[in-house]
């Protein structure tokens, strides 16, 4: 063995997680290590940049930051960083700067992943052990919600279009028209066919504005070479810089187009219109467009913007509560605007009404894959013979239009188009009195969604009244809570006897895990039972959990465990839906285990185990006569 390899092994043996590795693994590490030196103050890793190695500090010291600039950690000899980037999408999550002159060892990504997969003790230390690992994972996403923190390369839609300096203005205009672009990168001659060249070969840029001000306004010949009218002093940005940094660069230099470079290669050009389009994906802009739409066709045309908005929020590392709330607001806005349009079409309602949202929209936990669950509460003066025709028209119009906008029909018929769910307030009071006073597992299985309701339009105070009535009726109703708890145990987490994943047995998604049916839905179900038991008036699962924790009905620490499990399972589901959209696949709730990273797989097992333990406690606590 080479002396330098032995020196590396001896050093690593003194620090975790290497102290848990056998000699052959340490020899593998020593053989793969590369050395790099950074002077004090040098940025080692920048947020969003691609990472292909794990960093171990040999000497010196570094500072690790959160993406919002807050100091996260200081590391000295034996410390390591970059693992979260390797475990999540191969991009840096925590920027790192050398605090002192620092020597680091770089372990190639394949070697790191081999150690992570092969040695459990190594993986546990790298990730942070047991539930603390999951909690740290969740905490990182909760602390990373700054706006405009997406890398600039997420705005690039195509490779840059180029022309050589000798090309004519006529040729440039023809290329721009044919390619549908507002700018060309002007290259020095000699760029190889099919290559973009490097930054030194970029001579300048030509924009449509240059054609107006430097050609047409001056009456130049269209045969003039573009090299004579281009902008030669090229301002550019790096692919890993943030959108807001690109905006600042444009403002500082008063330019409207920026080439984007990656390792010296131009990979695209962004314009001010790209920035504006990016900003328009903000949920506030989408909601504004919804309320300015004047027809179902205009509203359905916004479905693409809703998907773009979803992808943007996910890219910005918003947590699941923020994402669910934003998508629910968008869903409510569609519904509200459609009800406005319906009243314009059919005239004023014959009696007052309240349009209810149910389920995920009511809990503000809606995602991009969703169906419509709604109902109508009508004034007690409602006369079916005289009035129901109007309300059926309203319900049908709204339901069909929501389907056109991407909100699928409810397969169980929980929609205002169903006569049973289009009734006067007094009938709704009777429904809830029967469900809570004479509960059976079957009736509550059919009606559980109505215990998550919210008023969207009209007499929304009726929704508040029904919620308050239910809260009073069920808090100490042992039989009702026992039936609800029994139903909450019907959907179990996908863990086998040896804690391996249990896949869907058949159908189009066999050999996959349905993250809603086996994860977020059973969590929402059991949280709802506890929330009703403590008299919580919250509807959002995270807010209900807070009321449950404050009521102190769970074993110590279990409430926070449930919060972490819900957050992580939700985010895995959310991210994979966003990846489906990126790949132009129809998004769904199913994930194949082979498409999970080691990081996701390990943390999902932790989260599903928390759900399993919580269901066992639910079964114990809500046996009739045991509720306190």
Angstrom distance (rounded) from CA 22 to CA 470: 60
Label residue 497 by pLDDT band (50, 70, 90). low
Angstrom distance (rounded) from CA 122 to CA 586: 37
Backbone torsion region of residue 143, taken as left when φ is above 0, otherwise alpha when ψ lies between -120 and 50, otherwise beta? alpha
What average pLDDT does the segment 551-571 reach? 91
Task: Please give the pLDDT value at position 507.
Answer: 60
574-578 long-range contacts, Cβ below 8 Å, gap at least 24? 574/314, 574/320, 574/323, 574/367, 575/314, 576/515, 577/310, 577/367, 577/368, 577/369, 578/310, 578/311, 578/314, 578/315
Q: Per mean pLDDT, which range of 149-153, 176-180, 486-490, 601-605 is the poorest?
A: 149-153
Query: How many C-beta atoms surround the C-beta of residue 571 within 10 A?
Result: 21
Tell me the HSE value of 252 on the side-chain side, using a 13 A CA sphere: 10
Secondary structure, 3-state, 138-196: HHHHHCCCCCCCCEHHHHCCCCCCEEECCCEHHHHHHHHHHHCCCEEEEECCCCCCCCC
> Residue 37: is its pLDDT beyond 60?
yes
Burial annotation 271-285 (CB, 10 A radius, 16+ → b, else e) = bbebbeebebbbbee
Contact assessment for residue 308 and residue 279, using Cβ atoms and an 8 Å cutoff: no
> Residue 124: is its pLDDT beyond 80?
no
Label residue 458 by pLDDT band (50, 70, 90). very high
Integer angstrom CA distances of residue 278 from 154, 304, 313, 578: 10, 13, 11, 16
Which of 209, 206, 213 is closest to 231 using CA atoms?
206
Task: Output the six-digit token pair for 9.
Answer: 């092994």
Integer angstrom CA distances of residue 618 from 522, 551, 575: 12, 15, 29
Greater confidence (49 vs 533) lies with: 533
Portion of the chain with pLDDT greater than 70, in percent: 88
Query: How many C-beta atoms surround the C-beta of residue 507 within 10 A?
Result: 9
CA dihedral 546, 470, 528, 366 (to 10 degrees): -90
Integer angstrom CA distances of residue 487 from 336, 449, 548, 583: 32, 12, 19, 37
First to last CA, the chain: 68
Contact assessment for residue 378 and residue 425, using Cβ atoms and an 8 Å cutoff: yes
Of 19-33, 251-265, 331-345, 492-506, which one has max mean pLDDT?
331-345
Angstrom distance (rounded) from CA 175 to CA 163: 9
Angstrom distance (rounded) from CA 284 to CA 509: 35
137-142 long-range contacts, Cβ below 8 Å, gap at least 24? 137/564, 137/568, 137/603, 138/563, 138/564, 138/567, 138/568, 140/84, 140/93, 141/317, 141/319, 141/567, 141/571, 142/319, 142/567
Portion of the chain with pLDDT greater than 90, in percent: 42
Q: Per mean pLDDT, which range of 32-36, 464-468, 492-496 is the poorest?
A: 492-496
Centroid of chain to Cα 27: 40
Tokens 């449950």, residue? 548
Angstrom distance (rounded) from CA 318 to CA 571: 9
pLDDT tens across 387-403, in order?
A: 999 999 999 999 999 99
Secondary structure, 3-state, 362-398: HHCCCCCCCECCEEEEECCCCCHHHHHHHHHHHHHHH
Angstrom distance (rounded) from CA 169 to CA 483: 77
Helical residues (DSSP H) of 221-271, grouped into ranges: 243-253
Q: Average per-residue pLDDT in the chain? A: 85
Contact assessment for residue 610 and residue 473, using Cβ atoms and an 8 Å cutoff: no
Label residue 66 by pLDDT band (50, 70, 90). confident
> Residue 143: is its pLDDT beyond 50?
no
Label residue 197 by pLDDT band (50, 70, 90). very low
Q: Per mean pLDDT, which range of 93-97, 144-148, 370-374, 460-464 is the poorest?
A: 144-148
Contact assessment for residue 590 and residue 513, using Cβ atoms and an 8 Å cutoff: yes
Contact assessment for residue 399 and residue 392, using Cβ atoms and an 8 Å cutoff: no
Label residue 236 by pLDDT band (50, 70, 90). confident
Contact assessment for residue 135 and residue 191, using Cβ atoms and an 8 Å cutoff: no
> Residue 202: is its pLDDT beyond 50?
yes
Contact assessment for residue 45 and residue 94, using Cβ atoms and an 8 Å cutoff: yes
Task: Please give the pLDDT value at position 251.
Answer: 60
Label residue 158 by pLDDT band (50, 70, 90). confident
Angstrom distance (rounded) from CA 352 to CA 424: 10
Query: How many C-beta atoms surround the C-beta of residue 206 within 10 A?
Result: 29
Contact assessment for residue 568 and residue 607, using Cβ atoms and an 8 Å cutoff: yes
Contact assessment for residue 483 and residue 622, using Cβ atoms and an 8 Å cutoff: no
Contact assessment for residue 414 and residue 360, using Cβ atoms and an 8 Å cutoff: no
Burial annotation 524-563 (CB, 10 A radius, 16+ → b, else e) = bbbbbbbbbbbebebbbbbbbbbbbbeeebbeeebbbbbb
What average pLDDT does the segment 112-118 reach? 88
Task: Output the six-digit token pair for 15.
Answer: 């620090």
What average pLDDT does the segment 340-355 reach? 96
Angstrom distance (rounded) from CA 167 to CA 325: 52
DSSP state of 19: G
Label residue 454 by pLDDT band (50, 70, 90). very high
User: What residues contact 201, with CB distance under 8 A and at least 6 apart?
Assistant: 187, 188, 190, 191
> Residue 427: is its pLDDT beyond 90?
yes
> Residue 373: is its pLDDT beyond 60?
yes
Look at residue 129 and give its three-state secondary structure: coil
Label residue 134 by pLDDT band (50, 70, 90). low
Task: Please give the pLDDT value at position 510.
Answer: 65
What average pLDDT does the segment 576-602 reach? 85
């Amino acid at each position: 063995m080479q002396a330098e390899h032995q020196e590396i092994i001896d050093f690593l043996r003194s620090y975790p997680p290497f102290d848990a590795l056998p000699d052959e693994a340490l020899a593998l590490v020593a053989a793969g290590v590369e050395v790099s030196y950074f002077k004090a103050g040098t940025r080692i890793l920048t947020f969003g940049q691609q990472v292909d190695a794990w960093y171990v500090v040999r000497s010196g010291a570094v500072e690790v930051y959160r993406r919002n600039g807050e100091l996260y950690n200081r590391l000295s000899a034996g410390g390591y960083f970059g693992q979260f980037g390797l475990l999540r999408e191969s991009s840096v999550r925590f920027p790192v700067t050398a605090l002192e002159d620092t020597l680091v060892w770089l372990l190639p990504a394949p070697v790191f992943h081999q150690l992570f997969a092969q040695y459990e003790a190594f993986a546990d230390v790298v990730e942070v052990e047991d539930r603390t690992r999951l909690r740290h994972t969740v905490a990182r996403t909760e602390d990373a919600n700054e706006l405009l923190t997406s890398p600039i390369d997420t705005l690039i839609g195509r490779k840059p279009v180029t022309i050589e300096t000798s090309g004519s203005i006529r040729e440039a205009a023809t290329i721009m028209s044919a390619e549908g672009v507002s700018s060309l990168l002007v290259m020095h001659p000699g760029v190889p066919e099919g290559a973009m060249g490097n930054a030194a070969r970029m001579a300048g840029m030509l924009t449509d504005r240059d054609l107006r001000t430097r050609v047409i306004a001056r009456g130049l010949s269209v045969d003039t070479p573009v090299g004579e009218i281009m902008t030669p002093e090229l301002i550019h940005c790096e692919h890993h810089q943030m959108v807001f940094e690109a905006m600042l660069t444009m403002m500082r230099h008063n330019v409207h187009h920026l080439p984007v470079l990656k390792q010296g290669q131009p990979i695209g050009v962004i314009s001010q219109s790209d920035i504006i389009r990016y900003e328009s994906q903000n949920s506030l802009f989408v909601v504004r467009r919804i309320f300015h739409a004047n027809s179902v066709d205009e509203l359905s045309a916004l479905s693409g913007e809703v998907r773009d908005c979803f992808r943007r929020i996910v890219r910005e590392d918003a947590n699941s509560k923020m994402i669910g709330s934003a998508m629910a607001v968008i869903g409510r806005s569609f519904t509200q605007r459609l009800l406005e349009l319906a009243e314009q079409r059919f005239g004023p309602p014959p009696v007052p009404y309240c349009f209810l949202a149910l389920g995920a929209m009511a809990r503000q936990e809606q995602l991009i894959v969703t169906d419509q669950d709604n109902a109508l509460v009508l004034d007690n003066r409602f006369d079916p013979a005289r009035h129901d025709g109007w309300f059926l028209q309203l319900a049908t119009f709204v339901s069909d239009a929501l389907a056109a906008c991407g909100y699928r029909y409810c397969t169980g018929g929980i929609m205002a188009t169903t006569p049973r769910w289009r009734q006067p307030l007094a009938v709704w009071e009777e429904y809830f009195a029967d469900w809570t006073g004479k509960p059976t597992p079957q009736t509550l299985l059919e009606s559980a969604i109505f215990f998550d309701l919210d008023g969207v339009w009209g007499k929304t105070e009726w929704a508040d009244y029904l919620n308050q009535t239910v809260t009073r009726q069920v808090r100490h109703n042992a039989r009702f809570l026992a039936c609800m708890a029994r139903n909450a145990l019907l959907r179990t987490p996908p863990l086998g006897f040896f804690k391996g994943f249990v896949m869907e047995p058949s159908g189009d998604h066999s050999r996959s895990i349905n993250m809603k049916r086996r994860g977020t839905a059973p969590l929402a179900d059991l949280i709802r039972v506890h929330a009703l038991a403590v008299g919580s008036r919250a509807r959002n699962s995270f807010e209900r959990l807070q009321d449950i924790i404050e009521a102190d009905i769970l074993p110590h620490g279990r409430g926070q465990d449930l919060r972490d499990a819900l957050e992580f399972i939700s985010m895995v589901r959310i991210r994979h839906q966003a990846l489906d959209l990126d790949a132009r696949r129809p998004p769904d709730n199913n994930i194949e285990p082979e498409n999970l990273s080691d990081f996701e797989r390990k943390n999902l097992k932790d989260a599903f185990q928390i759900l399993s333990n919580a269901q066992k406690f639910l079964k114990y606590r809500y046996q009739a006569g045991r509720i306190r």
